[in-house]
Structure 1
Amino acid sequence: MQGLVTVFGGSGFVGGQVVRALARAGYRVRVAVRQPNLAYKMRMLGDVGQIEVVQANLRNAPSVARALQGAEGAVNLVGVLWETGRQKFQALHAMGARTVAEQAKAAGVKRLVHISALGADLQSPSKYARTKAMGEAAVREAFPGAVILRPSVVFGADDKFFNKFGEMAGVFPALPLIGGGETKFQPVFVGDVAAVVAKAVASPSAEGLTYELGGPTVYSFKALLEMILRETGRNRLLVPLPWFAASLIGKLGDVFAAVVPLAPPLTSDQVESLKADNVADNGLPGLAEAGVVPTAVEAIVPSYLYRYRKGGQYADVPAGAF
């Protein structure tokens, strides 16, 4: 068995696949999370004793340092899609990223993989994108050899994109085409992202590089909603939602997120993010350069969107579904 890799935020959607990929590659894995009692299932992703779960909070440097003791590699997956309580973009994406990088350097960690996001930009009107860019800069300063990964929208059985709109299609008579539905996306499979992480931890040649991870196909927001409707067998209207109307709904979502511990339908910052295409187009290395063959949306999404058909798993496959 190989050395120890600490994975911060390893119990989430992407984190679970990263932990599994590292375990399959033979690493011992330490999953560092805020609430270890909620991550007990992570131990089942590897052999007996291969995976341990510890407490760590990126807002607390000593807890990060403890989680890194004896590790030869580290992966930072911590991020939020909306702000709530003390889980703020600045605290996690920027300051938290710096804390992990600084503590990893001090602990003698050989490899650090930092998960950012496609569209990270210091000039972006979206606070999410700005703080992701701040995190990248902080990581580069504290740990110059770190590998930075910028995935597009990540899809898989437990994703928050296809599942969200699949559920909405089963409840509402219409789906919103935010901003007209022209925003471009390049969805990337969660298993492919995890494979790149495992390769980056093992590969000295990846040191200091930034990868943009997008799938094999670029879709408009409208095309993705049409795909969801086909696969779920739902006949729903696609109603254009102008930016000003989306912003109003987003502000209501901000209030919702501030008082209710549930995912808001939309936030004002997410509206700002949707105004920019989410496509790998900066000439940086991607899946191919990392040695990973990209997985198509059409090959995976039907395996879990069936649950939103009328009749669920017992429903007939909709005509025209892929």
Structure 2
Amino acid sequence: MKVLVTGASGLIGDALCARLTGEEHEVVRVLHRPGTGVHPDIPTISLDMARALRPEDWTPYLAGVDAVVNCAGVLQDSARENTRHVHSTGASALFIACEQADVNKVIHFSAIGVDRQQPSAFSISKLAGDEALMARSLDWVILRPSVVLGRPAFGASALFRGLAALPLLPVMPDTGRLQVVQLDDVISTVLFFLEPGSPSRLTLDLAGPEALSMREVVGCYRRWFGWSSAQEFILPNWTAATLYRLGDAAAQLGWRPPMRTNAAKEITRGAVGDPQPWMRVTAIQPSSLTAALCLNPATVQERWFAGLYFVKPALFVVLPLFWILTGIISLTAGWRSGVDLLIGTAAGALAEPAVVAGALADMVVGAFIAWRPTSRLGLFGAIAVTLFYAIAGSILRPDLWYEPLGPLLKIFPILVLHFAALAILEER
């Protein structure tokens, strides 16, 4: 079959493309921005579902397609994401285009529980997308998975690993239970419904066999890593609310943290459902989290990732603040000291303009690192500026290498931190 997969760089979409290709299906990936994903041999379309809001936006890409699997989804509205457009308006346009192009088979990913409660814009828009598909004359299947976990680390799968690496486990208040479902079981379900003659026009909850608390999920990962149980403490409500708001602020800068206010609303409801209809229709026996982890022992790279998970946000808070505050201090309280450093050197006549230029460069670098679309450029800029300071300082003030506080010696750890940030920048 020729299968078009939207949201192809996400956890489910990426794994599905790999599995379909391995089973000799022809796959067309739809990505919301170019350059994402790791399958250079699979045809790729760069099309943002939040902007493809008319059926004619999709029509050119449906020629010869036998089935569409819609895996596109976003957690929360932000500067770069729109839940209504992705889950409802854009999805509806795709479904209409499928009907017009005689692409009858459509498998659509929703979320568990959206038919029962809609506590946030995420679940409201997901339900609207489901209803838009149900209204079409297509062989549709709506899959509503619980929290999907798998070997790839992204979203909740990454968060649980990161939490498992903490020696003290902060427990969020008011969290519901989770029937986590394995990625392999989800992908096998899609393949079942792509088979000729498979049932259609049905909605299924994809839920694991056991309902776990968040701390129990994290405990499973700690045992998988070979670590003993962590000490737990429940975060006060105000602390948890602050962390969710900080996640919202990071999203406005283009980052995609899993901890945001929509996540707080959704996780209070929990992610539970009845897996029996899914099991009866497909004959799939969903794996428990413990069983799935036992099949894939943790490796050193898994432990590295878990240990670095919360180091990454710390880096991308500290580095922008470091550069921006350095620039501000150079123009205010540190102005006289900065000028005095250059007085008496070959650049003495340009001391004041040089301090201003350096301060502005520092602030620009910091802003670029903080804004996700330009963070990579900002990190390279920071490395370039740091090397320039090292060379200029060695020429103009070589004594700074051996002063008691070693101001130029600090360049080496600064460079290493920026290279480390570059190494862990990629999100998917």
* TM-score, shorter chain, exceeding 0.5: yes
Counterparts in 2 of 1:66 and 1:242: CA distance versus 1, 3 Å = farther
- 1:197–1:265 CA distance, 2 compared to 1 (3 A): closer
Partner residue of 2:215?
222
Q: Kindly tell me: are residues 229 and 212 of structure 1, through their superposed partners in 2, closer, same or farther at Cα, counting changes over 3 Å?
A: same
Matched, 1:64 2:58: yes
In structure 2, how many angstroms separate the alpha carbons of the residues matched to 1:120 and 1:291?
24
Question: Taking every aligned residue pair, what percent have the same amino acid on both sides?
Answer: 26
Residues 207, 55 of structure 1: CA spacing in aligned structure 2 closer, same or farther, 3 A cutoff? same
Aligned-partner SS, 1:148: strand
The reply to whether residue 289 of structure 1 matches residue 244 of structure 2 is: no
Does the 8 A contact of 1:157 with 1:304 survive in 2?
no
Match of 1:185 in 2: 178
Higher helix share: 2
- Alpha-carbon displacement from aligned partner over 1:238-262 (angstroms, at most 9, x marks no partner): 2213555423321222122112x22
1:36-185 paired onto structure 2 within 5 Å:
36-39=34-37, 41=39, 43=41, 51-58=42-49, 59-60=51-52, 61=54, 62-121=56-115, 123-159=117-153, 160-170=155-165, 172-179=166-173, 183-185=176-178
For 2:92 and 2:252, locate their aligned partners in 1 and report how far apart those are by CA, in whole Å.
26
Give the match for residue 292 of structure 2. Answer: 300
3-state SS of paired residue (1:184):
coil
Look up the match of 2:343: none
Instruction: Give the counterpart letter for 1:134 in structure 2.
Output: A
* Amino acid corresponding to residue 220 of structure 2 in structure 1: M
Residue 169 to residue 234, structure 1, CA distance change in 2 (3 Å): farther
CA distance in 1, matches of 2:189, 2:302: 31
Question: Does the CA-based 8 Å contact 1:231-1:305 persist in structure 2?
Answer: yes
**Alpha-carbon distance, 1:311 to partner:** 11
Residue type matched to 1:163 in 2? A
Larger Rg: 2
- Equivalent position SS for 1:146: strand
Q: Which amino acid aligns with 1:41?
A: H
Superposed displacement of residue 208, structure 1: 0.4
- Is the CA contact (8 Å cut-off) linking 1:78 and 1:93 kept in structure 2? yes
Question: Aligned match of 1:278 in 261, 267, 271?
Answer: 271
Offset, 1:199? 1.4
* 1:212-251 equivalent positions in 2, closer than 5 A: 212-232=205-225, 233=227, 235-251=229-245
Cα pair distance change 1:79/1:221, threshold 3 Å: same
* Alignment partner, residue 341 of structure 2: none
SS at match of 1:38: coil
Give unmatched runs, 5+ long, in structure 2: 307-428
TM-score, length basis structure 1: 0.83
CA contact (8 A) 1:174 1:239 kept: yes
Decide whether aligned partners of structure 1 residues 17 and 241 sit closer, same or farther in structure 2, where only a CA change above 3 A counts: same
**What residue identity is the alignment partner of 1:15?**
G
**Post-superposition offset of 1:214:** 1.2
In structure 2, what residue type is equivalent to 1:295?
Answer: S
**Shift in Å at residue 25 of structure 1?**
4.0
Q: Structure 1 or 2: larger strand share? A: 1
Structure 1 residue 234: deviation in Å?
Answer: 5.3
Question: Using CA pairs below 8 Å that are at least 6 residues apart, which structure has the higher relative contact order?
Answer: 1
- Aligned in 2, Cα 1:162/1:24: closer, same or farther, shift over 3 Å? closer
